[in-house]
A and B are shown apart, each in its own frame.
Chain A
Amino acid sequence: MSVPFAKLPAWADYGLIPLINLAVAFLVAGLVVLLVGENPLRAAVILIDGALGRGQAIAYTLYYATSFIFTGLAVAVAFHCGLFNIGGEGQAYVGGLGVALVCLAFDSVFPWWLTFPLAIAGSALLGAAWAFIPAYLQARRGSHIVITTIMFNFIAASLMVYLLVNVLKPASSQAPQTRTFLEGGQLPKLNWLLEAFGFSVRSAPLNVSFLLALLAAFLVWVLIWRTRLGYEIRTRGHSPKAARYAGVGESRIIIVTMLISGALAGMMALNPVMGDQNRLAIDFVTGAGFVGIAVALMGRSHPAGIVPAAILFGILYQGGAELAFEMPGISRDMIVIIQGLVILFAGALEHMFRPALQALFASFGSRSVAAEAKQRGGA
């Protein structure tokens, strides 16, 4: 049976729909705030002001966003190949080991700008290595990548605790963390960037890995839409049968995609480990791997959507911390609820408002294009 529909213009598809979804998520979140007995409007003001009100706040917001861009890109690249990489958390964690090893080895010898490329390579390499095993199992054994990557998050956590407690901790220390890196293992802050816009920043963790994240976003766009490898990744993602038909080796494309995805997740570690804490500590990822899933869903797996989505989640993180501080009725968990709602509306219910919007566009519809949504039913 023919089901005609009107195609949405790109700006509505990539701009309007996420905005509507977001608005609904916040509306429902507002109801939850109301339920807790607080004023949702005041909560919104505190949240926005806490995230964007001062230079300091903006710097924190962008610092969080940096991590989310990396993990969001990691999830998106896998999405394009039809793979759901839930292991960003573990890949980033193990990626941190790569950063730490490079910094511990070279921080007394090299300036930061020489250590940085090595640390990028180290984080990408170990992140990719951590993604390789689930990828191999999926490609050759058919073990579902969602299950294996989740499992590998736990294995990564245990492995890192073991390494930090037994291997990497200086003998004199009580805390399960490496020694603090010397200057050669510390990334410069980006305070000057915000100050150039007239904001004052006292001390904030925003660092040059933010610029690396933006570069990575651009490179991911090039990879997916402008290279033959990206073409093959998308082919396999849309239709495994078409990929087989086109001679795209299934195992190879799964493994290569997951290596890229894992490398991007691993590079997230640069931001907190080398850019902020200057040491490798337990649990430094703090959920950024999972936020990456939300970011990729919301950004519709496109770098141009992922960067704003990551900044949005940066706002939620930073503003949420302020909110929890200002409003006694609201804890940090509230932010998790809002995140959950955003994932629900932007991801799971992504298409909820689409038919209505399509009908709306179609009724204006000179530019709309009719199509056969389903294979013909004899019509």
Chain B
Amino acid sequence: MADAAIELVGIDKRFGAVHANRSISLRIPAGTIHGIIGENGAGKSTLMSILYGFYQADEGEILVKGEPAKILTPSDAIARGIGMVHQHFMLVHNFTVLENIILGAEGEPLLKTSIAKARSELERLERDYGLEVDPDAIVDDLPVGLQQRVEILKALFRGADILILDEPTGVLTPAEADHLFRILRQLKDEGKTIVLITHKLREIMAVTDNVSVMRQGALVATRKTNETTVEELAELMVGRRVLLRVDKGPAKAGDVLLSVRNLTVKDARGVTMVDNVSFDLRAGEIVGIAGVAGNGQTELLEAVTGIRKAVSGTVMLDGRPVDLTGAADPADLRKRGMAHVPEDRHHMGLVLPFEESENAILGYHRQEKYAKGVLLDVEAVRADALEKILKYDIRPADPRLRTANFSGGNQQKIVLSREMEQDPKVLIVGQPTRGVDVGAIEFIHKRLIDMRDQGKAVLLVSVELDEIRSLSDRILVMFAGRIVGERDSEATEGELGLLMAGVEEREAAE
């Protein structure tokens, strides 16, 4: 067996009553790609933070390249050749690539000399690893995939031979993700060791040599990737068998319940975010809107639900017009049968400091059943919340608990139960499973299909292509504010990926 790049022995970490890492021992051989997978809160990030010096373990030992290492700060980690690519990039947006790369590693008092040195070093790195990027480009002008490349270069520039990547594909198109995997393989061939943290089973299968599964702070298994299956990993993550495929019958599409014509939305700076978008949503079908984050989906959702004013466009809800450019407001749309599960659960869909029962009526708090004269009938609100808690298996089953204390999956169930139990005609759903654990994803998907089968019209916006493909009856692809294509649910990932990258559109323009 090859030498270990990193060896963790009995790492244990508690935050108060929370046991984040339970005596974890792990050996990562040098020159391999090692996946770490687990649900939210399983302790993956804590473990990597300990390795990178953000936290110190309460107990246990870290060996880097066979030597015991005391890693108290990230600079200790960097000094030992450990580099980290964060999920949210740590780049200065108005600096050039080169300036970002030397930031914190300038080395000399005068920038001019260190920049010159850095430039030749950067050129060597780009050549060796196939990581082309213009050193003089402003980071803000680069697409997300290239920004990520800058992060990788930054770590390599500091001499990293062990790279930790935290959920690296969350912001990438499928093509960009594939490109990243090619880069990772090349880095491996050059002898680097790579640790990949992810919750996407497919990525683990595609690129890793070994995979470790974490559950509730403990490392439950390490497998050779080519000796395991997606099903086994999912079961290890959740601790029970998980249905990964969504079972659904054919859609019985009915009347058009939501009809959007020529909708245009601008942001606060006057930039067009949604550009002349038209589509129909019928009873009994799920229409998925695919696209890389930031291509106007958020603005589309907010405009259709009355949260953001549209510049122009006509909209019919259940046969009656809605004035999205003026008078429409969310309360009114709710009364007319539109329910909305927003993308931004933490700031929009929930008020985190509220107790659970208060969130269970958000947007519906003016209904008569919650009123007792001028007062809010707190008992009725709590009883109502408890009913939904039991029906949707929200845990812990305590309507008086602060919402912030629920896990991501349970928070999302609070929002879903509130919106679905209103028996809406049209359900608008944004990123229903973002930050939600595998077990809850299964439940949420099943619920969405149920809604469809009950004859609701469901509009689903998600950046998870798998989710769009497995749930939708029709798929619309959004790119740069426009709908650039419509496909049925049989569309291949490659086909959709090209549309999401705007390829077809560019060809048409030529």
Contact = CB atoms under 8 A, between A and B. Distances in A.
A246 B331 contact: yes
Interface stretch (B42-50, B184-192, B285-293): B42-50
Interface in B346-373: 346-354, 358, 362-363, 365-366, 370-371
A108 interface: no
A305 to B, nearest CB: 16
Interface string A319-343: 0000000000000000000000000
A6 B362 contact: no
B45 A1 contact: yes
Interface in A68-124: none
Contacts of A232: 365
A372 B362 contact: no
A222 B16 contact: no
Contacts of B49: 1
A369 interface: yes
A369 B405 contact: yes
Contacts of A5: 15-16
B401 interface: yes
Nearest to B308: A244
Contact of A249 (B199, B305, B329): B329
A222 B435 CA distance: 36
Contacts of A378: 44-45, 87, 166-167, 170, 197-199
A284 interface: no
Contacts of B17: 4, 6, 362, 365-366, 368, 370
B15 A379 contact: no
A12 to B, nearest CB: 14
Interface residues of B, number: 61
Contacts of B349: 242, 245
A228 interface: yes
Given A4-B18, A372-B408, A246 B435 contact: no
B404 interface: yes
A364 to B, nearest CB: 9
A256 to B, nearest CB: 14
Interface in B322-358: 329-332, 334, 340, 342, 344, 346-354, 358
Contacts of B451: none
Given A1-B54, A227-B374, A379-B41, A371 B348 contact: no
A227 B375 contact: yes
Contacts, number: 142
Nearest to A226: B375
Contact of A7 (B15, B199, B306, B402): B402
B314 interface: no
A245 B15 contact: no
A222 B373 CA distance: 13
Contact of A376 (B41, B351, B362, B370): B41
Given A226-B376, A244-B330, A238 B16 contact: no
Contact of A4 (B15, B170, B329, B371): B15
Contacts of A241: 344, 347-348
Nearest to A244: B307
14 contacts: A1-B46, A2-B45, A6-B17, A230-B376, A234-B354, A241-B344, A241-B347, A244-B307, A244-B330, A245-B342, A362-B15, A371-B404, A375-B346, A378-B198
Interface of B: 15-18, 20, 38, 40-46, 49, 54, 87-88, 166-167, 170, 197-199, 305-307, 329-332, 334, 340, 342, 344, 346-354, 358, 362-363, 365-366, 370-371, 374-376, 378, 401-402, 404-405, 407-408, 435
User: Closest 4 A-B residue pairs measured CB to CB?
Assistant: A247-B331, A362-B16, A379-B45, A378-B167
